[in-house]
Amino acid sequence: MTILVTGGAGYIGSHTCVELLNAGYEVVVVDNYYNSVPAVLDRVEQITGKKLKSYDCDIRDREGLDKIFAENKPDAVIHFAGLKAVGESAKLPLLYYENNISGSVTLFEAMEAANCKKIVFSSSATVYGNNPIPYKEDMITGDVSSPYGRTKHFIEKILGDVYAADNSWSVSLLRYFNPIGAHESGLIGEDPNGIPNNLMPYISRVAIGKLEKLTVFGGDYETKDGTCIRDYIHVVDLAKAHLCAVKKILDTTGLEAYNIGNGKGYSVLDIVHAFEKVTGKPLNYVIGARREGDLPAFYADATKANKELGWTAKYDIDKMCEDTWNFQTKNPDGIK
């Protein structure tokens, strides 16, 4: 079986390619390297001892996609490619709508033309907006606070319409919670350009001395220690959820959404302290103002994925911090 992976050189995509190759799938990556480098794919091959095929191609390039589909005849697609910086999306909404939504529509058109109608889509917990916690898949979604989040909501709805019009599609919408951690080899991990927006890469850059201190965004939320609560999930657990979802879509038709989280909430300070345990030294941080748009707390009810995909998260926050630190210390200047 051949799986076409858009955005396969990115953070979650690269870890998923490792799991796919280890499980015996042929892997074809399509990435324009906007937020990644081709060397990541060499490392995926190094970890697995297996080869993959890759194309430097933008998902908005219909002709390019048609050729790739014709050459490789994939059985299914895992669609990671997209822009993901929440703050940037508020400043550059059209870039986000064009890349994420137009790109996805072009990809779905190419899939339909090639009669490849099986897809796993990278969605996000952000689609739940202000719903009560824990989030469940049957809640009404779409009350989102950023253009980025809206792209996820719209793409989910577009796939819903595609499936409603043609029931031979098989669609799995995976709503990720907060992926952190890295492959335990330390060869691949999260390697953002510039100053990180997300908590974990920021913490690890402070710990290694590249950034001076972490600002904890808000210490006055109504949570156990005043800082925000999130459902952190090890990226390898998340990658494995894609394997389960692929197996399911290959065997069935339909459209389902699944929460991919641990089902547990940790505060920002829980993560800071777990990281300090791993490095053995205190982390320089200050409590600052709240960040606009942040919700006080959210975490998953992951029962549906546990039951229907046979998937459960295995790793705890200590392992997430250990693997992040291992990747950071082995790649102090990122992957070149």
169 binds, among ligand NAD, ligand UFG, none (CB under 5 to 8 A by kind): none
Query: From the list 3, 4, 12, 206, which residue makes contact with ligand NAD (rule: CB under 6 A)?
Result: 12
Count of CA atoms in the C-beta half-sphere (13 A) of 286: 4
Query: From the list 124, 170, 204, 259, which residue makes contact with ligand UFG (rule: CB under 6 A)?
Result: 124
Question: Residue 160: CB partners within 8 Å, gap ≥ 6?
Answer: 255
Cα 24 from Cα 297, distance rounded (Å):
38
- Using DSSP's 3-state secondary structure scheme, residue 221 falls into coil
Q: How far is the CB of 19 from ligand UFG (least distance, A)?
A: 20
148 is catalytic: yes
103 binds, among ligand NAD, ligand UFG, none (CB under 5 to 8 A by kind): ligand NAD
Cα 85 from Cα 126, distance rounded (Å):
12
63 to 82, contacts with ligand NAD by CB under 6 A? 80-82
Residue 58 interacts with ligand NAD (CB under 6 A): yes or no: yes
Q: CB-based burial of residue 50 (10 Å sphere; 0-12 exposed, 13-18 middle, 19+ buried)? A: middle
Q: How far is the CB of 66 from ligand UFG (least distance, A)?
A: 30
Cα 322 from Cα 275, distance rounded (Å):
8
Cα 255 from Cα 286, distance rounded (Å):
44
42 binds, among ligand NAD, ligand UFG, none (CB under 5 to 8 A by kind): none
12 binds, among ligand NAD, ligand UFG, none (CB under 5 to 8 A by kind): ligand NAD
Q: Which is nearer to ligand NAD, 74 or 103 (CB)?
A: 103
Q: What is the CB neighbour count within 10 angstroms for residue 233?
A: 26
Q: Is the peptide bond before 147 cis (omega within 30 degrees of 0)?
A: no
Residue 176 interacts with ligand UFG (CB under 6 A): yes or no: yes
Task: Show the tokens assigned to 104.
Answer: 């996805």
Q: Which is nearer to ligand NAD, 190 or 256 (CB)?
A: 190
Of 25, 55, 135, 148, catalytic: 148
Residue 144 interacts with ligand NAD (CB under 6 A): yes or no: no
In the shown chain, the binding pattern of residues 288 to 307 toward ligand UFG, with x for contact by CB under 6 A and - for none, equals: ---x--x-------------
Cα 113 from Cα 148, distance rounded (Å):
28
Of the listed pieces 32-40, 161-169, 204-212, 312-320, which binds ligand NAD according to CB under 6 A?
A: 32-40
Q: Which helix (H) or strand (E) holds 259?
A: strand 254-260
Please answer whether residues 324 and 182 qualify as being in contact, where contact means their C-beta atoms are separated by less than 8 angstroms. yes
In the shown chain, the binding pattern of residues 207 to 226 toward ligand UFG, with x for contact by CB under 6 A and - for none, equals: -------xxxx---------
Residue 31 interacts with ligand NAD (CB under 6 A): yes or no: yes
268 binds, among ligand NAD, ligand UFG, none (CB under 5 to 8 A by kind): ligand UFG
CA pseudo-torsion sign 291, 238, 196, 58: negative
Question: Residue 14: CB partners within 8 Å, gap ≥ 6?
Answer: 8, 36, 40, 41, 43, 44, 188
Catalytic residues: 148
Write out the residues near ligand UFG by the rule CB under 6 A. 84, 86, 124-126, 176-178, 197-199, 202, 214-217, 228, 230, 268, 291, 294
